Amino acid sequence: MALSTRMQRLGWRLRWWQHRQRLADLEVVVLDVDGVLTDGGLWYGPNGELTKRFDVRDGLGIRLLQHAGVEVVFLSGGRGGATEVRARHLGIRHCLVGAKDKPVALADLRRRLAVSASSLLFVGDDLNDLAVQGEVGLLVATADAAGPLRQRADAVLLRPGGQGAVRELAERLLRAKGHWAQLSREGWRDRND
């Protein structure tokens, strides 16, 4: 690995360290879908049906966050059905699709959940996600996010979208909240609680 890449990753780790207390206090994680939960690719079938690939480890990371009391929300400008199906499989209560103005959608979500901006973390991957910065306490970028987002984000994940980025985030949050040691020692069982 090139020295510049190692230095960049070290800087990203430092950003995480600086926000450890804010991570511990977070109540809501909002995930962009295309490019965060997926690799950003869109596959169309012969009849125009849209399919997307989701990482199963990201799914478990989401379930672990939910079990720790963190509300997980999907927020996407797109539509197509695959996002809604994945949300149902994971028990996501708030799946906001077709959101053309993400800051407005987040402000509405905060009102519905009765939480402050400081208790929200948003994960994005592209320029349109920069617009949410004033509506959330922490803005996080995937490793493969657009350069301006990586530069202005509060923290940057080491994993790319659709390839474990959400799982990485889940582990960081669970460590900050004091849940990871027990999970890594005893494992996890979904008891449908």
Instruction: Give the Cα separation of 109 and 1 in Å (integer).
Output: 41
* Contact call for residues 82 and 50 (beta carbons, < 8 A): yes
- What pTM does this model have? 0.89
Please give the backbone phi and psi of residue 125, each rounded to the nearest 5 degrees, phi first. -140, -5
End-to-end CA distance of the chain: 44
Instruction: Give the Cα separation of 35 and 40 in Å (integer).
Output: 4
Task: For 3-186, give the CATH class.
Answer: alpha beta
Of 6-20, 42-56, 94-108, 158-172, the poorest mean pLDDT is in 6-20
Which residue type, as a one-letter code, is found at position 149? L
Q: What is the largest CA-CA distance in the chain?
A: 49
Task: Answer yes or no: is pLDDT of 109 > 80.
Answer: yes
Estimate to the nearest angstrom the gap between the alpha carbon of 80 and the chain centroid: 20
176: its two tokens: 């900050």
Estimate to the nearest angstrom the gap between the alpha carbon of 183 and the chain centroid: 20
Per-residue model confidence as pLDDT tens digits over 110-120: 999 999 999 99
Per-residue model confidence as pLDDT tens digits over 43-87: 888 888 888 899 999 999 999 999 999 999 999 988 778 899 999
Q: Which residue has the higher pLDDT, 21 or 129?
A: 129
Closest CA to 35 of 150, 146, 154, 148: 146
